[in-house]
Structure 1
Amino acid sequence: MDKGFVQFSSLLDNDFYKFTMQHAVIRLFPKAKARYKFINRGKDAFPPGFAEALRQSVEAMCKLKLTIEEKEYLRITCPYLAPTYLDFLQGYCYNPDEVSIEQDGERLSISIEGYWYRTILWEIPLLSLVSELFYGMKGQLRNNDKEVIQITKEKIKKYAELGVTVAEFGTRRRHSYKVHQLVVQALKEYGENSFVGSSNVHLAMTNDVKPIGTHAHEWFMFHAAQYGFKMANSLGLEHWTEVYEGDLGIALTDTYTTKVFYKQFDKKFAKLFDGVRHDSGDAIEFAEQTIKHYQKLGIDPLSKTIIFSDALNYDKVARIADYCRGKIGMSFGIGTNLTNDVGLQPMNIVIKMVEAFPEGDEWIPVVKLSDEKGKYTGDEKMIHLAKTILNIPE
């Protein structure tokens, strides 16, 4: 890689849930629009010329095309994706005009705007571009393949000894594509029965492992803009089942706090969905709350699964596994700790939907009220309104 330029090699170098959501958006909300913004949680200082280098990398994205081989892979691996969607994806190309990039000293601003079915694919590639460019321009790229492989090998062996299953979720904050590729290869080689797949579709395909993912917070955030906060969770779930009919059955709980979610995650949804994903707040409290919810509905928690995915490392996984074992099914999606463990401080960056434009409406601010207050995102007035409507205490 030229330290001022990063180029993607595949349209599928993205998280699986972006494609599954895109498929659903095309079917249900083809005229909706969305706006996203970059949030630099870690307050990293960007070097001079960063915006220009990022713009160059973004411009190159328009050259990516779904190959015939990739389309056939999706057709066979993901039968729930409609043939019409695969045809659409074969004709899809990124439009760099949807992305605005500015730099003011060491501060970086990125915004995305356009039809939701198009702009939904930008988030993950942009974050990985920012991360790899940042390390490249600071001269901090890592080329010790053996060290990356050895670190990953040791980690997956320890997870196997714990008796847990692990998926790789680290595209968005990876140190580089090369490190990411080495990590997935090592997980596949040494993971035995512990490594179950990757959220990155391209690397899942090239390593012959399962692509993993369902939906993200923006799915429910948009539903709040379209239908109101009271209906966002229930209609988000209803529409998901309308498209996927029971496939891709892991529900994300914390867009408006898990407590609110479980008020609407009734017996029908609890039976239809295979489980839930934990993404914020205390993992043990979440597991306890989830187990009690299933028990209250007369459902055996051991027939369901929690996917834990919040900033995991070995110690956290061991603590969670010790609590959940024999009580409820579990699996772990590990991101940055796998794809950016190279002796540097990983970046803490996100891109979030900030406004939605439902069909026949106007631009409406959207918010996320996770189980960790520090992770609230969005317009302050709208956050207050959501908390008032949903009876979430200050």
Structure 2
Amino acid sequence: MEQSTTLVRLASMLDNDFYKFTMQCAVVSLFADVKATYKFINRGGHRYPPGFGQALRASVDAMAELKLQPDEKEYLHTTCPYLSPAYIDFLAGYKYHPQEVRIHQEGEELEVTVEGYWFRTILWEVPLLSLISELFYILTGQKRIADVDIERRTAKKIHLFNQLGVTVAEFGTRRRHSFEVHRLIASTLKKHHGNSYIGTSNVHLARMTGVKPIGTHAHEWFMFHGAYYGFKMAGGLGLENWATVFQGDLGVALSDTYTTDIFFQQFNKKLSKLFDGVRHDSGDPIEFAEKTITHYEKLGINPLYKFIIFSDGLNPEKVTHIAQATRGRIGISFGIGTNLTNDVGLDPMNIVIKLSSIQAGNDKPIPTIKLSDEKGKYTGDPEMIELAQKILGIPVDPA
């Protein structure tokens, strides 16, 4: 097959991470007039072969054919009662508009941007990344290990998690090797789950395998609030707006959009009591756990009634280390991505797509940024990053 005609098709409108749908529900409810721009970031410096941009274009164009099916709509009504009937009706009428995605390849470099109303463009990130990842392995001719070996590796991991007595969800849609591998992983986890495997972020595979779809919100929710309302308001107001839409459901707060220290300054007693727990996604996990426990104790909240979902680059060794260090001090759970869905004997890709700007009504576009607890993961306009650091009191590195 010629590279320019290589086509990867998504399995379903629901072949996406759950937090994209929950955030879309909130955006439709609160911010329907906001426009957004997303940009692809090639963190791993991957080199894309000739024809890659054309193949990605063809796969993106094919997404226009996707539509929520009647049985999928009923599944959302039954399984996700916190998604409003109005939103589910909206999703039933939603179709991807490929013209919202710009793809350009220059030599071995790839540029991808997405522009349009936020309530529409919010669904593009995860499918685009999964398409880029799957096409990369196809067009570079890399061969993975056999299915039986993938099953063996996955079963060994879930057996370890059962021995550790921890709960684990699969979070690996974005950088999976392929849908075929992802489906194999999902079925293997279900087969060997014991008490550990509790669900997947991929809604289509959750439905297909009869497990819980898992997710709340992502960094872009707080990146928007920081750009639109101000960095000092982003954490608190972002969570207040989330609670307004979901009334206490989906109560896991992402902590590191503007660093964990700033998050805990804004995570007041009301929010700490309202939200069931927090998610760790960058920086040292043990240090984060200590800060979280201390935060709850200072507010008179028993940490054992709350929990942390760890989700930053996890593998079985890291899960074991974190579990041993935090067991019996606070509730813990784990979201594991690439180590489950792209542990196939090849190097996983290091790629992301981030919200880069927002525009409300006739206002000028405002750059969005993410600071994270690792400076290497700072993303966005450098001047805006420096401004946020000054406003929030985060030390700025000398030039």
Give the alignment partner of residue 350 of structure 1, picking from 349, 352, 361. 352
Query: Which digits, 9 at most, give the CA deviation of each residue in 1:311-334, with x for residues without a partner?
Result: 001111111001110100000000
Which blocks of at least 5 consecutive residues in structure 2 are unaligned?
A: none
TM-score (norm 2): 0.97
Counterpart for residue 30 of structure 2: 28
Whichever residue aligns with residue 96 of structure 2, its letter is Y
Give the alignment partner of residue 293 of structure 2, picking from 291, 294, 298. 291
8 Å contact kept, 1:225–1:358: no
8 Å contact kept, 2:145–2:345: no
Distance 1:178 1:24, change over 3 A: same
Counterpart for residue 272 of structure 1: 274
Cα drift, residue 143 of structure 1: 6.9
Counterpart for residue 202 of structure 1: 204
8 Å contact kept, 1:308–1:330: yes
Cα drift, residue 358 of structure 1: 2.0
Distance (Å, rounded) in 2 between the aligned partners of 1:121 and 1:160: 33
Distance 1:2 1:337, change over 3 A: farther
Whichever residue aligns with residue 123 of structure 2, its letter is L
Query: Which digits, 9 at most, give the CA deviation of each residue in 1:286-327, with x for residues without a partner?
Result: 000000000000000000010000000111111100111010
Whichever residue aligns with residue 291 of structure 1, its letter is I
Counterpart for residue 164 of structure 2: 162
Give the alignment partner of residue 364 of structure 1, picking from 356, 363, 366. 366
Structure 1 position 113 matched with structure 2 position 142: no
Distance (Å, rounded) in 2 between the aligned partners of 1:314 and 1:155: 7
Counterpart for residue 132 of structure 2: 130
Counterpart for residue 59 of structure 1: 61
TM-score (norm 1): 0.99
Counterpart for residue 228 of structure 2: 226
8 Å contact kept, 1:46–1:107: yes
Q: Pairwise mapping of residues 6-155 of structure 1 onto structure 2 (< 5 A)?
A: 6-142=8-144, 144-155=146-157
8 Å contact kept, 1:291–1:328: yes
Cα drift, residue 41 of structure 1: 0.4
Whichever residue aligns with residue 60 of structure 1, its letter is A
Give the alignment partner of residue 215 of structure 2, picking from 213, 222, 227. 213
Matched residues, number: 394
Counterpart for residue 393 of structure 1: 395
Distance (Å, rounded) in 1 between the aligned partners of 2:362 and 2:330: 44
Distance 1:219 1:69, change over 3 A: same
Whichever residue aligns with residue 115 of structure 1, its letter is Y
Which blocks of at least 5 consecutive residues in structure 1 are unaligned?
A: none
8 Å contact kept, 1:6–1:133: yes
Distance (Å, rounded) in 2 between the aligned partners of 1:65 and 1:170: 23
Cα drift, residue 145 of structure 1: 1.7
Distance (Å, rounded) in 1 between the aligned partners of 2:49 and 2:7: 14
Cα drift, residue 2 of structure 1: 8.7
Distance (Å, rounded) in 2 between the aligned partners of 1:143 and 1:87: 42
Counterpart for residue 333 of structure 1: 335
Distance (Å, rounded) in 1 between the aligned partners of 2:348 and 2:11: 23
Distance (Å, rounded) in 1 between the aligned partners of 2:151 and 2:199: 17
Whichever residue aligns with residue 118 of structure 1, its letter is R
8 Å contact kept, 1:234–1:264: yes
- Partner of 2:187: helix, strand, or coil? helix
8 Å contact kept, 2:145–2:344: no
Cα drift, residue 141 of structure 1: 4.6
